Each structure stands twice: as structure tokens, then as C-alpha cells.
Amino acid sequence: MFAIAIDGPAGAGKSSAAKLAAKKLGFIYVDTGALYRTVGLYMTEHGISAQDVKAVEAALKEITVELKFLPDGQHVFLGEEDVSDKIRTPQISMAASAFSSIPEVRSFLFDLQVSMAEKYNVLMDGRDIGTVVLPHAQVKIFLTASAEERARRRCLELEQKGQKVSYDEILADIQQRDYQDSHREIAPLVPAADAEIVDTSDCGLEEAVERILTIVYKKLPNDSVDFPG
Ligand code: DC
């Protein structure tokens, strides 16, 4: 199997660019943030605090998180419920970030991520894919952009979904999440030593996809143009 790891901070355009690049390559796109968001959603709905590690551990024994790849892309299930839309709110973004610093949460989601890469050619995006989850990925990319540009994009995205947003709040959330994600003890957000850095502050989605594909094509074996998904 061939694996592409794309890591980077919140709102760098990872998911949009990664989704399109995966489609062009015929790879399965795995959005690992959705897994952490699903855990964050469950904990929030059940009033469990990220400070209460014992309660978090007990809750993890109760839940199943599953990814399904439907014709319109990845869907994430919490038990029987498709929570793919419910997890896309600023509140759940913060919860995902808070709960993702708990080692038990990371190990709970680890096997699921690794098993995807064993079954499929994947393009997986997250924070620690190139460093921890798929350290042997053939391609590693660290996709980033300035915090201000990322906040601007996140505002647009949420507005398009009909959510009312404040730029200042989104920027503050992004800065706080950057700090939390890159300062946590376990699997912090850092580029892998062998990752290529792609800064998308100055470019649109199409160019970001082009830059990703250029890096991938350099690493794809010559005889493997037709990858099964
Ligand atoms: O990519 P995202 O914004 O949907 O991720 C939500 C949060 O989940 C993010 O702030 C940190 C956490 N996360 C993580 O710790 N490791 C990953 N591989 C993906 C996400």
C-alpha cells in the first residue's frame, strides 16, 4: 500500500486540498480530525470534562467510532449515528483539541487509523500522521498557512454553511488550538523530519492541490500510475 500523510494546523486547507488530491490519485481520503471530533462530541454531549481522565477512559469503553467510505466521501459514525455534520461546529473543534491531548484518546483512535492504511492506499490528514500514525508513509507533507489567513478561510467556510461567525473569535480559537495542539506532551503538531513544508498563505485551493500532487508524483513508483483505491 502507498500512504500519503498530510499534517498541519487547523484551517490550513488540509481537508479541502487533501480530498481533491486523493480523488485525483484514486486514493481513499481519511480525515482523522473527524475521529477526534467524534470523541469530543460524545464527551460534550455527556458532560464529561477533559480534566476527568477517569471518566474519559470509562466513556471510551462505551463507544464505537467508525469510518465509512460512501460515494460522497468519508462519513464518521458514533455507534449507529452518522455524526459527520454534527461535529463541524466551533464548540466541537475546541472539544476535539482538548480531548486529543489525552493519551487514552489517542491510543483509542490509533489502531483504526493504522488499519485504514493497511487496507487502502490512503491520503490521511491530521496532526501526527507523518510522525506517529504512519511514520513510514512514502510521502509526508506539512501543509500550513498564517493564522490570519486560516481564520479568514474558516469564517468563509462556516458562513457558507449558514453559521453566524465572528472573525476575531475564530482567530482566537485557531491560535488557542495551534498552541494546544503543538504544545501537548503526546504526539504534538510538528512537521516530521522528512516532511515537505507547503505554505498555502499565498495560494488558492487549486494551487495547493497542484503542489501536493507534484510532491506525490515525484515519489510514486513509475509502474503504479493506476492505483486501485
Ligand atoms: O483537523 P481538525 O481541525 O478537524 O481536528 C480537530 C482537532 O483534533 C485538532 O484541533 C487536534 C485534533 N487532532 C489530533 O490531535 N490529531 C489528528 N491526527 C487530527 C486531529
| pLDDT tens by residue, 12-64 | 989 899 999 999 999 999 999 999 999 999 999 999 999 999 999 999 999 99
216 Cβ closer than 6 Å to some ligand 1 atom: no
For β-strands 139-144 and 3-7, DSSP reports them as parallel
Which pLDDT tens digit goes with each residue over 52-106?
A: 999 999 999 999 999 999 988 899 999 999 999 999 988 999 999 999 999 999 9
Backbone angles phi, psi at 113, to 5 degrees: -70, -45
Q: Backbone phi, then psi, for 101, in 5-degree steps?
A: -85, -5
Nearest residue (CA) to ligand 1, atom 16: 127
Nearest-atom number in ligand 1 for the CA of 36 is 8
Interval between CA 226 and ligand 1 midpoint (Å) = 31
Which pLDDT value is given to residue 222? 66
C-beta 40 within 6 A of ligand 1: no
Q: How far is the CA of 53 from the centre of ligand 1 (A)?
A: 19
Which residue of 97, 104, 123 sits with most ligand 1 atoms within 8 Å of its CB, as the best mutation to test the pocket?
97
Nearest alpha carbon to residue 99 among 142, 46, 141: 46
How far apart, in whole angstroms, are the C-alpha atoms of residue 32 and residue 38?
10
Q: Give nearest CA residue, ligand 1 atom 18.
A: 126
Residue pair 134/3 in contact (Cβ under 8 Å)? The answer is yes
Q: Which residues contact 123 (CB under 8 A, 6 or more apart)?
A: 3, 4, 6, 18, 21, 22, 25, 27, 28, 29, 30
> Can you tell me which atom of ligand 1 is nearest the CA of 15?
1
- Cell 513508483 maps to which residue? 221
Instruction: Read off the pLDDT of residues 148-158 as tens digits, 9 standing for 90 and up.
Output: 999 998 899 88
Residue with cell 472539544: 95
Model confidence at 228: pLDDT above 50 = no
Question: Does the C-beta of 126 come closer than 6 Å to ligand 1?
Answer: yes
- Distance, CA of 7 to CA of 30 (rounded, Å): 12
Q: How much is the pTM?
A: 0.91
Model confidence pLDDT, tens digit, residues 159-199: 998 988 899 999 999 999 899 989 999 999 999 999 999 99
